């Protein structure tokens, strides 16, 4: 699907690079440092030790991956794209801006207000048209008619859906929390629930509802795109449910291919199906 060189061409000096202020933040690294850093952040699981050059490249390379993936999908010239659970992360919006500029219409449905405010600040610096809907993605039917979108994106979002569902069962309202200091607690609850019943009573029902709704709002011929990865460092921690996090995309695949709306997998050759999945609605 892509080589490290193609991703670097986008991330440093290419379409993606322009959305990060060109070489801003990369000025002090040699080509060899950038090459080694890119290798670290592109490894899956992501390397435990990431150099300063790798850290500086991380968001750029993610956006480059989404740019090349979305470019391969033959989207219309003015695509309508929905992203679920974006939080404050920008690879999908940067990719859409790089590919379509003001022709792209982007909507995200996102619960956490603080992260949504950070995303809004990022969106204000880009050209694409955008809207942030502060709601639970389980309620997509209240916002969108069937076949409203060309593409629905889940960037590292399957774990967020599961974590939020299990946290709600604990009575924890995630709409106005400071996400990052509380994330370990949510992941521990998720791990406990996974050990107790494989997420059958909470987690999987919410994921199924959201995927069912996402499949309904995408048009025939449209796609659902997913990515996920783990950090090698997290896999060493005793509280971190590594088996579950390493299998996030296979888990989503099992749910998605059993929905009432039939979907077919069209993940481009060369993408690792443990970490990526593209589904098409026939």
Ligand X SMILES: C[S@@+](CC[C@H](N)C(=O)[O-])C[C@H]1O[C@@H](n2cnc3c(N)ncnc32)[C@H](O)[C@@H]1O
DSSP code of 231? B
Q: How far is the CB of 186 from ligand X (least distance, A)?
A: 9
Q: Which of 15, 19, 156, 216 binds ligand X (CB under 6 A)?
A: 156
Q: How far is the CB of 209 from ligand X (least distance, A)?
A: 9
- Residues comprising the chain, all counted: 282
Please state, in angstroms and rounded to a whole number, the distance separating the CA atoms of residues 198 and 186: 16
The size of the interface with ligand X (CB under 6 A), counted in residues, is 20
Binding map of ligand X across residues 88-117, x = CB under 6 A, - = no contact: -x-------------------xxxx--x--
Selection from 56, 16, 17 nearest residue 33 by Cα: 56
Selection from 166, 158, 162, 280 nearest residue 229 by Cα: 158
Residue 222's alpha-carbon distances to 41, 73, 227, 234, 279, in angstroms, are: 30, 9, 17, 34, 8
Residue 217's alpha-carbon distances to 48, 149, 174, in angstroms, are: 38, 6, 25
Would you count residue 267 as binding ligand X (CB under 6 A)? no
Q: Which of 82, 128, 137, 202 binds ligand X (CB under 6 A)?
A: 137
Q: How far is the CB of 273 from ligand X (least distance, A)?
A: 19
Instruction: Sort 172 into a burial class: Cβ within 10 Å, 0-12 / 13-18 / 19+.
Output: middle
Would you count residue 164 as binding ligand X (CB under 6 A)? yes
Of residues 171-190, those binding ligand X (CB under 6 A): 174, 179
> What tokens appear for 197 in the block?
């019943």
Q: How far is the CB of 83 from ligand X (least distance, A)?
A: 8
Region binding ligand X by CB under 6 A among candidate stretches 52-60, 79-87, 186-194, 260-268: 79-87
Binding map of ligand X across residues 117-136, x = CB under 6 A, - = no contact: -------------------x
* Site for ligand X, rule CB under 6 A: 85-87, 89, 109-112, 115, 136-138, 155-157, 160-161, 164, 174, 179
């Amino acid at each position: 699907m892509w080589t490290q060189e193609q991703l670097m061409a986008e991330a440093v000096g290419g379409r993606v690079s322009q959305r990060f202020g060109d070489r801003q933040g990369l000025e002090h690294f040699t080509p060899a440092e950038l090459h080694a850093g890119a290798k670290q952040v592109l490894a899956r699981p992501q390397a435990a030790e990431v150099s300063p050059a790798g850290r500086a490249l991380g968001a750029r390379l993610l956006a480059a991956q989404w740019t090349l993936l979305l470019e391969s999908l033959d989207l219309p010239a003015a695509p309508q794209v929905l992203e679920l659970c974006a939080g404050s992360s920008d690879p999908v919006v940067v990719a859409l801006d790089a590919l379509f500029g003001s022709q792209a219409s982007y909507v995200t449905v996102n619960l956490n207000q603080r992260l949504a405010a950070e995303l809004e600040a990022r969106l204000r610096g880009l050209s694409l048209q955008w809207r942030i809907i502060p709601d639970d993605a389980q309620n997509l039917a209240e916002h969108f008619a069937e076949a409203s979108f060309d593409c629905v994106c889940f960037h590292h979002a399957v774990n967020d859906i599961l974590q939020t569902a299990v946290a709600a069962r604990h009575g924890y309202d995630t709409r106005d929390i400071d996400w990052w200091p509380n994330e370990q607690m949510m992941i521990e609850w998720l791990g406990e629930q996974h050990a107790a019943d494989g997420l059958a009573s909470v987690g999987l029902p919410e994921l199924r509802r959201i995927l069912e709704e996402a499949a309904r709002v995408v048009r025939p011929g449209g796609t659902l795109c997913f990515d996920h990865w783990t950090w090698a460092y997290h896999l060493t921690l005793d509280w971190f449910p590594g088996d579950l996090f390493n299998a996030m995309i296979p888990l989503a695949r099992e749910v998605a291919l059993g929905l009432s709306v039939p979907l077919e997998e069209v993940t481009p050759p060369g993408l690792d199906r443990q970490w990526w999945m593209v589904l098409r609605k026939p």
